Structures are given as structure tokens and as C-alpha cells.
């Protein structure tokens, strides 16, 4: 069974349950689509090997092998851990047209994806540290 076939298992919590699970800063990013300031997150320059999981539900999202220094001040990856682990939607906030990335399992906001990344994908998943938990190898 493919991961997408179990999407009925999508995590649903009340606003209060999310507030109890996440720190106030994590809640602001993951549930209110906020953005941490560049060069301030705990993972923007981390080179520790491991897998980055969703801070909201624990799903694996990005492998450190795909992380690179984009110069943006946020953790950047050229591909997700599994293509089905993230979902994208159009974001027209702040007078821009961007592609938002969120966790496919719990809908936590992660960041945005841009088409200015390195090969082999040419993509830059620009992700908030507050939406991630690194599980070191």
C-alpha cells in the first residue's frame, strides 16, 4: 500500500491540542503559517547527519543528504524524504505568488519551495527550523 493510500489517517487535532503539543513559536509557524527570521533557526546551518521530521506529527520530511547552504538563512533541501511526505499549494500572501509546502500527514506549515535550487531537482525547499525536529543518525 502506498503512503497516499492511507491519507484517511491524516492527523486532526483541535486548536487547543496543537497549542498543548507545540511551543508558542512552533505553533505560530506550523499552525498559523508564520515564518521565523532568517539566520535565527536552530537548523539553518546545521550539518549534522540525520532525518528531519515534522515538529507537529513526527513524520520524516527531509534527509540531511539533500540539505545544502542556499545562503537564504533557512534550512534548504533539494527534495523531500518521500515525494508523498509534503504537499504544496499556491500562496498569494504578502503581495507575492509562491508555493507553500506543508506536511501531508498533519498539514503543518513548513515553508516554501522555489525553482532556484541545485541539481538534480533544481528545487529549493526553504523550510522553517521551528517546523522540524532532527533525528540524528
Output the domain CATH number for residue 105. 2.170.150.20
Mean pLDDT of 82-87: 95
Check the annotation: does 57 bind a ligand: yes
Rounded to an integer, what distance in angstroms lies between the CA atom of residue 124 and that of residue 7?
25
Give per-residue pLDDT as tens, 89-122.
998 888 888 999 999 999 999 999 999 999 999 9
Beta-bridge partners for 75: none
Question: CA 28, 34, 38 angle in degrees (round to 5)?
Answer: 115
pTM score, two decimals?
0.90
Instruction: Please count the structural domains in the chain.
Output: 1
Set 110, 126, 127, 130: catalytic member: 126
Check the annotation: does 30 bind a ligand: no
Q: Residue 131 has what DSSP assignment?
A: G
Residue 29, domain extent: 3-136
Which phi-psi region, left, alpha or beta, contains residue 80 (left: φ > 0; alpha: ψ -120 to 50)?
Answer: beta
Amino acid at each position: 500500500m502506498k503512503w497516499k493510500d492511507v491519507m484517511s489517517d491524516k492527523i486532526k487535532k483541535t486548536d487547543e491540542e496543537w497549542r498543548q503539543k507545540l511551543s508558542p513559536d512552533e505553533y505560530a509557524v506550523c499552525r498559523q503559517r508564520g515564518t521565523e527570521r532568517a539566520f535565527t533557526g536552530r537548523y539553518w546551518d546545521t550539518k549534522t547527519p540525520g532525518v528531519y521530521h515534522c515538529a507537529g506529527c513526527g513524520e520524516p520530511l527531509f534527509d540531511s543528504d539533500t540539505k545544502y547552504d542556499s545562503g537564504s538563512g533557512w534550512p534548504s533541501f533539494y527534495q523531500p524524504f518521500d515525494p508523498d511526505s509534503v504537499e504544496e499549494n499556491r500562496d498569494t500572501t504578502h503581495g507575492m505568488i509562491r508555493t507553500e509546502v506543508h506536511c501531508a500527514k498533519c498539514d503543518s506549515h513548513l515553508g516554501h519551495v522555489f525553482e532556484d535550487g541545485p541539481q538534480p531537482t533544481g528545487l529549493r525547499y526553504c523550510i522553517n527550523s521551528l517546523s522540524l525536529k532532527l533525528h540524528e543518525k
